[in-house]
Structure 1
């Protein structure tokens, strides 16, 4: 294996562990808690890029599916992943793909923020559709319970991820662990 591939695999494992450690801690405000998983996923895609960041997110979901208590509120298993709020967990994958892809292909922090907002919107869309289907809620009720209260928190997490992600990228590049990609302007 190439040195770069081993480094990416190790980095992916470390960031999957970070997601697993941060995710169980949440603030319950209704049927869907304010979780720190998306902040950790934002950082993963910021540092690893869309491919490996999404893989680290997938590893997190598989670890939770296997029964380790890594979901919000220290939940785990298929019942949590396929339950009413499971669509938000599954929505982390398109969130990582879209947000990470835009981060990888642009230099502007405003575009990075837009990418993370679009990714989060996809997570909301998938999660809300799943919540309505599983719980028998109307779209309006689901939005009121599962989306509207989270928008300010998620915007704050995006700001934190961009600031911290940018700083960590710079420090890792200085240490020789991260190579900046050249992006056309």
Structure 2
């Protein structure tokens, strides 16, 4: 017997179970706004800055589920492409997608969708270990898109590419993953008491 694709409700569906277009739009816009807000917390590093975006991307995917998570990050990218200063350091515009961070930006939709799918399918956001696994999978997607794009736009290869687009972020990603692994199960414990 197989489990349905959305066997487990997301945190947002548990806290606000009423269905409706308005509710979904507010959740999608709220997720995009959260990513835009934390993108402004930036440690300038070239060619890829250190931000809290990835934490927000993965949390949005887990909290909203794969469809609304992907829609939220698509909204975020469209807002930035349209010129709203939502990307790291208040930057915006289509040129960001052609630059060294373009692959990372585009990965956000897929990372949020994967984390959301894992949460809906396996309830990985309810335990520290499960949340860590879901967030790790989302992080792999981000690097799978980001590193090749970074290499293609900068000409970096091999160890130089890893030193520019992966190594400086590993400790921060581990800390963000740990934070998410604590936040989501805590939120679930709180939601179950309501």
TM range (shorter): 0.7 to 0.9
Aligned match of 1:122: 141
SS class of match (2:65): helix
For residues 44-69 of structure 1, the C-alpha deviation after alignment (integer angstroms, 9 at most, x for no partner) is 12211121111111111111111111
In structure 2, what is the equivalent of residue 36 of structure 1?
Answer: 52
Give the Cα–Cα distance (whole angstroms) in 1 for the partners of residues 120 and 107 of structure 2: 20
Cα deviation, residue 99, structure 1 = 1.8
Gap change, CA 1:79 and 1:94, over 3 Å in 2 = same
- Length, aligned pairs only: 174
Q: Who is 1:156 aligned against? A: 175
Q: 2:159 aligns with which of 140, 150, 160?
A: 140
In 1: Cα distance, 2:49 partner to 2:161 partner: 14
Deviations 1:70-113 (A, max 9, x none): 11111110111221211111111221122221122223432331
1:21 maps to which of 37, 41, 44? 37
Aligned equivalents of 1:45, 1:166: Cα separation in 2: 15
The TM-score normalised by the length of structure 2 is 0.81
For the residues of structure 1 that align with 2:74 and 2:181, how far apart are their CA atoms?
A: 21
TM-score normalised to the size of structure 1? Answer: 0.85
- Check conservation: 1:25, 1:72, Cα contact below 8 A: yes
Unaligned runs of 5+ in 2: 1-17
Instruction: Kindly indicate whether the alpha-carbon contact (under 8 Å) linking 2:61 and 2:114 is maintained by their aligned counterparts in 1.
Output: no
RMSD over aligned CA atoms reads 2.0
Partner of 1:180: none
Provide the rounded CA distance (Å) in 1 between the counterparts of 2:76 and 2:141: 19
- Cα shift at 1:173: 5.9
Matches within 5 A, 1:51-62: 51-62=67-78
Deviates more, 1:157-166 or 1:9-18: 157-166
Distance change >3 Å, CA 4–CA 173, structure 1 → 2: farther
